[in-house]
Structure 1
Amino acid sequence: MRIIYIDCTAGLSGGALLGALADLGLDREQLFEELQQEIAGAFNVSFNLSFQKEPRRAALRTVLDLSQDCLATAAGEFIKTFFREESAQSSPFPMIKKIFQEDLAARSRLEGLPPEEVTVTPAEAIKTAILAAGVFTSLKQLGFPRIVASPVPIGPPPLEGAKDGAGHLVLELAKGAAVRPTSSPSVYVSPAGVAILTRIADEYGELPEMELEETGYGALGDYGRGGVVRVLYGSVPLAEPSIGRRETVLVIETGIDDMNPEFFPYLIERLLAAGALDAFLIPIYMKKGRPANLLKVLCKGDKLEQILQIIFKESTTLGVRIHEETRRVLQRKFFQVSTPYGEVTVKAGYAGPETVLQLAPEFEDCKRIASGTGTPLKEVYAAAQRSAFEKIKEQENRER
């Protein structure tokens, strides 16, 4: 299992986090091109993103320059475009939308104003969106590994009469994250950094044991001064399974509430014929109480594009969710058994070379024989199961 550990002990910012990920050896040109397509192309803003290596700290500094046109953009209108945008989960937009929702809600609580009346500068909004998209795109290049982060350092409250708007906002945005106290005045945590971290972290804690492959360092603070965000990338070996073979599969799912239900059997038939490991429907209720079906498809990575082509062509969905899961499967073998009604194929599940845990006659064989002979289907199935158990028992006795 691939894993990233984000060490923000010395502080955290969106730029430092992006710099640390880019320092892992990512294709920075591809990163910039994707950001241009995602942000500049979709929202008509121009910017330049580059990375500078600081020899003194051996860290990568993220340099983000916005054009004057960007700074003249109304921040509220820019943010609203994300709320109107309907995008797939493979795009950074859903994450950016969630960040803006939480940011506006936090500012609303602090300022005592409705979310639509809080103040956000164009530079804040656009930089946050670009940095969040950059982090998302970097993780996509890395294959979306599991992310563990150190607790976010939180400084003491401001002295009487002092203002600490950014510190208050950091605390609001850090809700749900692990935090720890720090008394160091040099530790800096930005609202954008916390907002991004809380959206990508799977868990918080100490550095997990891993086989280390790459390290990345992102510069905090002014040039040559301040700490770094450290990122460690590697793999965690999984224990050998005690039973069954471990496999990694992709799970594709989408809720569908506007499709003729007569089309679903054909859709599932096509998915299975294309190499899906499984495809099935789960009845669900969607918003406003609408009855719907949740389509779930399991497949190997090399079948993903073919499966997606079928889903989008043969269903009415506009988007799907894709995630990776681990499953355990027994070793499978097929053999023929004789019954009073005819030959039936049986599928056996083995926990080891000789230990049979499951025996299942093939339904289509039993159905064919039942239809041809007029014998009740359940009798054909039971006869095949008895013959299979007897065959396995005879084999075990011979091996003894």
Structure 2
Amino acid sequence: MVSEFEEIEHSGGKITFNILTDHDQKRFQIEFTSSRSVHMEMIAVYAIPQGIPVGIIQLGGIGVPWNPPPFPGCFPVFIASDSRGKFGHKCQSCNGYWRSGPWPNICPYCATSEPSFLFLSDAQRRYVSHYCEVLTKALDSGENVKVVIDMNAVVDAIEKKGERPDLYMAEQSQQCKFTCEACEEFNDILGRFGYCSLCGTRNDQKDFENHIEIIRGHLNTGKAPEDCMRDAVALFDSFVSQVAKQLAERVPMTIHRKNWLLKNRFHDLKEVSQKYRDWFDIELFMNMKEDDRNFVVRMFHRRHVYEHNGGEVDQKYLDDSKDTEVRLKQQIRETKEEIHRLLGLLLKMALNIHKRFHELFPPIDEPIATFEDKKARIEKFTKSMKGTHLSHQ
């Protein structure tokens, strides 16, 4: 398991430029070889001779031609992954860094959408610049030569912990590694919450679901129901806060509304529900019975009692919750069954928010459709194999 902020070495390999000069015509061939026993993926970009990437190369199979360069004179630049088979990326808008597959569509932090080649990491950009410089000098020599960029030597020098070579090539693990539920893309981001960099689906809802199951496990193994209730309400508060930040950043609105979203604590569910519905058409209680709505609202008010009053009912709780089943100074106690009910309802509410949020900011269809097609083909194959197995019995 890779630790947080651990340096991940390059996968290595050698790039050889074969320069061929014939009657003032200059041609080159590129050869890539690798013998390191690590996971390696390969991509390619078009770059102008000055070392600036200008487009991706769609590498097909044997006999499949590449897409043409955006304009004449571009060099094809081959870029190998880190030794885990992933690629570092950097957003030019917010300077956020992350690792994922080869071709992201959006920044997981600020949701900026750019052509994939503009998300190259700093290390990759240095490499592209060096690659183009070496190839340009070899072509300008006017000779038939072979020139090698030895990335194995770069990796070996880094492993020796000595002075870093000029062509320093490595990536860095981040903090939250998640596989997108919608498109199956791997993402390694700073912090805990973000967008999938391939399809744009946020990971908040899945993270919330995972932590609700952890709380449910604690409840089933003897943790006090009151403590589990506080944990669950705090978790939902955090979830709503993350969505609020994205709405404040991405939806044009008045300063008053932005301040409410960014500075408010989401303890009063009725107020939160009303504002989310009126401002964004996000309905927290969609498809929930009135009795369930009132139950959740009451449980949110009870967090105040546990956090600030040791579990004893105070007048504020009675006024805010309109709870007629308890009286002033009564010690409140929760049951295991009530907390299981609360957890299930919070999951519904989080999913309501997640779905409506992505109606405002739809994910990218293509990677999701590709993943769904893959799942369907796997399911079809699995069923056919089961049928074959049964026919032989």
Q: Which has the higher contact order (CA 8 A, sep 6+)?
A: 1
Report which of the two has the higher share of strand: 1
Interval of TM-score (by shorter of Structure 1 and Structure 2): under 0.3
**TM-score, with normalisation over the residues of structure 1?**
0.26
**TM-score, with normalisation over the residues of structure 2?**
0.26
